[in-house]
């Protein structure tokens, strides 16, 4: 991964982490307000819930933007479970073919030996 791309992704992930922390703080404030029971201010709870959802949306947008840019620099097989299975099956087929070639070359060399 290129150094500047890495630092950009790192900065974006840091922003996302800070957003998660802010969202959790807002959620904690909301719980504190709800813990007041009947004294809870409906408008305050609604405002805090809106702030929480906005923070979550910001974090989600950051993560969605970071994922494609970081995923393009990894080999395809590292990202897909199905591709890993395909690669494993292909490796087994290669091993079988090698074994057949090896046994075939032994038979050919055995036939060429003078009796």
pLDDT in tens, 8-44: 788 888 999 999 999 999 999 988 888 888 777 888 8
Measure the CA–CA gap between 5 and 20, rounded to whole angstroms: 22
pLDDT in tens, 90-114: 888 888 888 888 776 666 555 555 5
**Do residues 69 and 5 touch, judged by C-beta distance below 8 A?**
yes
pLDDT at res. 103: 76
Residues 23, 59 contacting (CB under 8 angstroms): yes
Residues 6+ apart with CB under 8 A from 76: 83
> Which residue, among 6, 8, 13, has the nearest Cα to 63 in the 3D structure?
13
Q: Is 114 exposed, middle or buried (0-12, 13-18, 19+ CB in 10 A)?
A: exposed
pLDDT above 80 for 51: yes
Buried b (16+ CB within 10 A) or exposed e, 47-79: ebeebbeebbebbeebeeebeeeeeeeeeeeee
- pTM above the 0.75 mark? no
Q: Residue 77's pLDDT band (boundaries 50, 70, 90)? A: very low
Provide mean pLDDT across the span 40-55.
88
């Amino acid at each position: 991964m290129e150094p500047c791309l890495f630092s950009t992704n790192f900065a974006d992930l840091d922003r996302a982490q800070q957003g998660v922390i802010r969202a959790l703080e807002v959620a904690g404030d909301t719980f504190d307000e709800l813990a007041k029971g009947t004294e809870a201010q409906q408008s305050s709870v609604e405002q805090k819930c809106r702030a929480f959802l906005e923070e979550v949306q910001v974090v989600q947008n950051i993560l969605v933007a970071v994922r494609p840019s970081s995923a393009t620099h990894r080999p395809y097989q590292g990202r897909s479970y199905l591709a890993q299975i395909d690669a494993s099956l292909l490796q087994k087929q290669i091993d079988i073919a090698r074994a057949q070639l090896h046994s075939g070359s032994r038979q050919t060399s055995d036939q060429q030996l003078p009796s």
